[in-house]
């Protein structure tokens, strides 16, 4: 049986041979110093992804010729959550005299292309949630590339700084508020994206609150919300229209963006919020206080997350830190959507 070579042992010559081009062509593509045809670029992208090749030449270039660019890798920019995050990041980047390069990317089995930003066009990277897999983070760290994780913790034993928020206790307290203050017993939970830590800990807090109050967990009361209003809207529409006889008296919407979709769906189906069904969210987006009714939620320090993560990345660039996680506190904001008269 032939064993495959470790990604770290793959060289530029391996890439050139598999792509059917010269080593010089691969070098030009990596360093972006002269144009390469779109066809060759696409082929090299594919080969580098298949071989999991990390261009060491680019890493060496960082030591001698800085780009003065910081990269931010996001899974998407579909909702209002990212505006304060970007504000916090951009303030620090601007103060440091750098530029910010933002790209969307989701590392999974379906994505054959390498990330659009990294060692070859930035000095360091801010990585949001699950935009890169653990294997990608390990490879970048092995090659000495500076990065800070946002809204996720690093793989075990990987000395990469991270900045995230407290999810579980806040969710527990908010769900407990629905139960203790408003006598809710059938609380629908809109699950966030798979493989995201925020989603995992919020669901854990929801289950813990049910358990603490002697309410059995019901899988029929868990829907996919994906932290997006359109997904939550369609998911709840399907739930309400498929004839399933499942009653509920409240919704934990996963986040505020999903809560908007939930409220729209409920109101279109003739339900009053909160008189018939209470709705709560998470994040406290700028518009959450202006919804009808105003949304009870968890206030997350999203702008501060962006600021602290960026400051830590610059500390990493200056060799002042090597790792460590920051967990920022959150707080419950009571408004009318839960049934309170605040």
* Tens digit of pLDDT at every position of the chain (342 positions): 333 444 446 777 788 889 998 877 876 777 665 677 888 888 888 888 888 887 654 454 444 468 899 999 998 888 899 999 999 999 999 999 999 999 998 776 565 577 889 888 999 999 999 999 888 888 888 888 999 999 999 988 888 999 999 999 999 999 999 999 999 999 999 999 988 999 999 999 999 999 999 999 999 999 999 999 999 999 999 999 986 678 999 999 999 999 999 999 999 999 999 999 999 999 999 999 999 999 999 999 999 999 999 999 999 999 888 778 999 999 999 999 999 996
Q: What is the pLDDT of residues 118-133, one digit of tens each?
A: 888 999 999 999 999 8
pTM: 0.80
CATH of domain 1-45: 1.10.260.40
Q: What is the pLDDT of residues 24-57, one digit of tens each?
A: 787 677 766 567 788 888 888 888 888 888 765 4
**Peptide bond before residue 293 is cis, with ω within 30 degrees of 0:** yes
Cβ count near 337 (within 10 Å) = 27
Task: Return the SS3 of 326.
Answer: strand
* CATH 3.40.50.2300 for domain 168-301+331-338: yes
Residue 34: predicted pLDDT: 63
Alpha-helix runs per DSSP H in 151-228: 168-182, 197-212
Q: Are 274 and 337 a contacting pair, CB within 8 Å?
A: yes
Q: What is the DSSP string of 59-119?
A: HHHHHHS---EEEEEES---STTHHHHHHHHHHHHHHTT-EEEEEE---STT--SPPSSST
Residue given tokens 């897999």 in the structure block: 133
Residue 42: predicted pLDDT: 84
Q: Where in the chain is the domain with CATH 3.40.50.2300?
A: 168-301+331-338
CA distance 264 to 254: 15
Q: What is the DSSP string of 43-67?
A: HHHHHHHHHT---HHHHHHHHHS--
CA distance 58 to 139: 14
Task: Return the SS3 of 240.
Answer: helix
């Amino acid at each position: 049986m032939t064993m495959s070579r470790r990604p770290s042992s793959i060289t530029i010559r391996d890439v050139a041979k598999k792509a059917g081009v010269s080593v010089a062509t691969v070098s030009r593509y990596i360093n972006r110093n002269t144009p390469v045809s779109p066809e060759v670029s696409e082929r090299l992208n594919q080969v580098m992804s298949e071989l999991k090749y990390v261009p060491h030449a680019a890493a060496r270039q960082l030591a001698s010729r800085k780009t003065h660019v910081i990269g931010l890798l996001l899974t998407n920019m579909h909702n209002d959550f990212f505006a304060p995050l970007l504000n916090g990041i951009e303030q620090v980047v601007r103060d440091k005299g750098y530029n910010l390069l933002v790209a969307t990317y989701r590392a999974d089995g379906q994505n054959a292309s390498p990330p659009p930003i990294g060692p070859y066009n930035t000095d360091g990277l801010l990585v949001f949630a699950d935009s890169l897999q653990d294997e990608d983070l390990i490879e970048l760290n092995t090659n000495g590339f500076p990065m800070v994780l946002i809204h996720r913790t690093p793989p075990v034993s990987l000395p990469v700084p991270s900045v995230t928020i407290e999810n579980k206790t806040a969710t527990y307290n908010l769900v407990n508020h629905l139960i203790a203050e408003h006598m809710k017993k059938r609380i629908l939970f809109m699950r966030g994206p798979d493989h995201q830590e925020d989603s995992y800990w919020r669901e854990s807090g929801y289950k813990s609150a049910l358990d603490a109050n002697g309410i059995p967990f019901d899988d029929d009361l868990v829907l996919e919300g994906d932290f997006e209003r359109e997904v939550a809207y369609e998911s709840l529409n399907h739930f309400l229209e498929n004839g399933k006889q499942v009653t509920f008296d409240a919704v934990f919407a996963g986040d505020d963006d999903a809560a908007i979709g939930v409220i729209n769906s409920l109101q279109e189906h003739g339900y009053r919020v909160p008189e018939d069904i209470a709705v709560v969210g998470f994040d406290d987006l700028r518009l959450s206080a202006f919804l009808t009714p105003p949304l009870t939620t968890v206030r997350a320090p999203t702008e501060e997350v962006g600021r602290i993560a960026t400051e830590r990345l610059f500390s990493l660039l200056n060799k002042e830190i090597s790792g460590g996680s920051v967990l920022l506190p959150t707080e419950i904001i009571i408004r009318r959507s839960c049934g309170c008269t605040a």
